[in-house]
């Protein structure tokens, strides 16, 4: 009996799973060793989280030390040193003014928490009509119900649930070259609906799973200004962009703005453990007061120890130069693909390289081609992209871009 194929429900797949899954036996550095004997470079950083690669001795040792002390304890009425240390680190590195940290289980949950914070803020301020959110089209913020309600309702993955999701406002998607128009549309929406809107939520600089769209930092500046003008909170979802991925420590830093609430996850623990956080300021926390949310595994000590080690490892490395070098190499090796007839666009920022095709890829065929090239990527729709671990070397990165070229040329 094939348990995996017939009984395990993989993400965005059906049972039985017709697209092959590849059995991982072990992982080290940027490599996954598969049960079939193949050894492939993970160009996805395990969904953008393993920034230091696998089996990192520094993070391993931090977690081994922590498990001998306390692996888990409820956070209601109790606390522990790893959480205190992590809170202190996050306050130091996140945009100015963000100094109240709510730990969560996953990125989607941190978005749920941020939405609840915004709603409760306005309820406690006596503005009970501010119960909606506004967000650019093309965004993705997670798979739970609140998060789904602020994902793109037409091109996103959750249109099946549109009839039961909370109704929110969607404005023009920011893209290179349309910043003025996108901001004008946002301002128009605020002019007519600001009394009903609790917050704007967006992904800074790069819209991730909604289409790997890269836009101008001026849009972020404009959004911050308009939110202030119309008394609307700004929630920035840095789950994919945080911790150096775009070339800045946080996407917000490209525009030198500070949101009212910041969501982080994925690379927070270096990909070792599931963990996220919603970070806000005193104005929000003082008004909200008691937030009715308390995940069982909130601020799990093992997760906190991994996060502390990951952040320390990142900050003591020359990460900005490495991300700059990765960006330059991705530009040099992927941009020539713009000349291919099957390619619609090539986009690069930081350690993100995207090839958008004119027609959808055949997932099974392209996955097999990539594996045969010694590379693990997870294309979807028309997008073939890489977000490699920061520790990848030039030769390994070239192997990824070569594999991407092979897929494109054989379309």
State pLDDT tens for residues 80-122.
999 999 999 999 999 999 999 999 999 999 999 999 999 999 9
Beta bridge partners of 354: 347, 385
Domain boundary among 316, 333, 349: 316
pLDDT digits (tens, 9 = 90+) for 299-336: 999 999 999 999 999 999 999 999 999 999 999 999 99
Would you state the pLDDT for residue 29? 98
Q: Same domain for 267 and 243? A: yes
The mean of the pLDDT values for the chain is 96
Q: Same domain for 109 and 171? A: yes
What is the share, in percent, of the chain residues with pLDDT greater than 70?
A: 100
d(CA 115, CA 123): 12
Mean pLDDT of 252-260: 98
Residue 280, helix vs strand vs coil: strand
Would you state the pLDDT for residue 398? 98
Q: Give the number of domains in the chain.
A: 2
The answer to whether 149 and 166 have CB atoms below 8 angstroms apart is: yes
Q: Same domain for 311 and 350? A: no
pLDDT band with cut points at 50, 70 and 90 for residue 155: confident
pLDDT digits (tens, 9 = 90+) for 51-87: 999 999 999 999 999 999 999 999 999 999 999 999 9
Would you state the pLDDT for residue 1? 54
Beta bridge partners of 39: 33
Q: Same domain for 272 and 348? A: no
Residue range(s) defining the domain that contains residue 151: 61-316
Q: Same domain for 267 and 120? A: yes
Query: Buried (b) or exposed (e) across 355-391, using 16+ Cβ within 10 A?
Result: bbbeeebebeebbebbbebbbbbbbeebbbbbbbbbb
Tokens 């049972």, residue located:
15
Instruction: Record the tokens describing residue 147, joined without a space.
Output: 């998060």
Would you state the pLDDT for residue 19? 81
pLDDT digits (tens, 9 = 90+) for 371-404: 999 999 999 999 999 999 999 999 999 999 999 9
Domain boundary among 284, 316, 348: 316
DSSP-derived letter for residue 163 is T
Which residues are marked as active site? 12, 140, 237, 266
Q: Same domain for 273 and 312? A: yes
d(CA 23, CA 228): 50
Q: Same domain for 156 and 263? A: yes
Would you state the pLDDT for residue 133? 98
Q: Same domain for 124 and 90? A: yes
| pLDDT exceeds 90 at position 224 | yes
Distances (CA, A) of 38 to 306, 371, 373, 401, 405: 29, 8, 10, 19, 20
pLDDT band with cut points at 50, 70 and 90 for residue 17: confident
Domain boundary among 287, 316, 345: 316
Q: Same domain for 328 and 405? A: yes
| pLDDT exceeds 80 at position 270 | yes
Q: Same domain for 232 and 247? A: yes
Q: Which positions ≥6 away from 410 have C-beta within 8 Å?
A: 369
CATH code where residue 220 lies: 3.40.640.10
| pLDDT exceeds 60 at position 229 | yes
Would you state the pLDDT for residue 237? 98
Q: Same domain for 50 and 160? A: no
Mean pLDDT of 191-208: 98
Q: Same domain for 182 and 266? A: yes
DSSP string, 192-247: HHGGGEEEEEE-SSEE-TTT-EE--HHHHHHHHHHHHHTT-EEEEE-TTTTTTTTS
pLDDT band with cut points at 50, 70 and 90 for residue 160: confident
pLDDT digits (tens, 9 = 90+) for 19-34: 889 999 999 999 999 9
DSSP string, 23-86: -EEEEEBTEEEETTS-EEEETTHHHHT-TT-BS-HHHHHHHHHHHTT-S----SS---HHHHHH
Beta bridge partners of 357: 343
CATH code where residue 352 lies: 3.90.1150.10
């Amino acid at each position: 009996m094939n348990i995996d194929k017939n009984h395990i429900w993989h993400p965005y797949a059906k049972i039985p799973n017709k697209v092959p899954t590849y059995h991982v036996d072990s992982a080290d550095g940027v490599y996954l060793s598969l049960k079939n004997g193949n050894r492939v470079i993970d160009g996805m950083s395990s969904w953008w989280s393993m920034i230091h690669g696998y089996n990192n001795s520094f993070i391993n040792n931090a977690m081994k030390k922590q498990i001998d002390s306390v692996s888990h304890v409820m956070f209601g009425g109790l606390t522990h040193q790893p959480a205190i240390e992590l809170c202190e680190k996050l306050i130091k590195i996140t945009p100015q003014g963000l100094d109240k940290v709510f730990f969560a289980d996953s990125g989607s949950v941190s978005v749920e928490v941020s939405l609840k914070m915004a709603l409760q803020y306005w309820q406690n301020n006596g503005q009970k009509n501010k119960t909606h959110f506004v967000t650019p089209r093309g965004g993705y913020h997670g798979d739970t119900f609140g998060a789904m309600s602020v994902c793109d309702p037409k091109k996103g993955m959750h249109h099946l649930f549109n009839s039961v999701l909370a109704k929110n406002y969607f404005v023009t998607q920011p893209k290179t070259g349309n910043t003025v128009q996108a901001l004008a549309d946002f301002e128009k929406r605020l002019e007519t609906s600001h009394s009903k809107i609790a917050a704007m939520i967006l992904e800074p600089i790069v819209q991730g799973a909604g289409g790997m769209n890269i836009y101008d930092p001026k849009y972020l500046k404009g959004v911050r200004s308009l939110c202030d003008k119309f008394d609307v909170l700004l929630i920035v979802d840095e789950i994919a962009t945080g911790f150096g991925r775009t070339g800045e420590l946080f996407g917000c830093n490209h525009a030198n703005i500070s949101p009212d609430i910041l969501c982080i996850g994925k690379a927070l623990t270096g990909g070792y453990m599931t963990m996220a956080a919603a970070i806000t300021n005193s104005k929000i926390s003082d008004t909200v007061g008691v937030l009715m949310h308390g995940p069982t595994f909130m601020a799990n000590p093992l997760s906190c120890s991994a996060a502390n080690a990951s952040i320390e490892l990142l900050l003591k490395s020359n990460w900005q130069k490495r991300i700059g070098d990765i960006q330059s190499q991705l530009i040099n090796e992927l941009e020539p693909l713009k000349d291919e007839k099957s390619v619609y666009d090539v986009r690069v920022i930081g350690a993100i390289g995207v090839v958008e095709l004119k027609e959808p890829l055949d997932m099974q065929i392209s996955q097999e081609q990539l594996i045969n090239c010694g590379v693990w990527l997870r294309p979807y729709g028309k997008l073939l992209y890489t977000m490699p671990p920061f520790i990848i070397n030039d030769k390994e990165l070239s192997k990824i871009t070569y594999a991407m070229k092979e897929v494109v040329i054989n379309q």
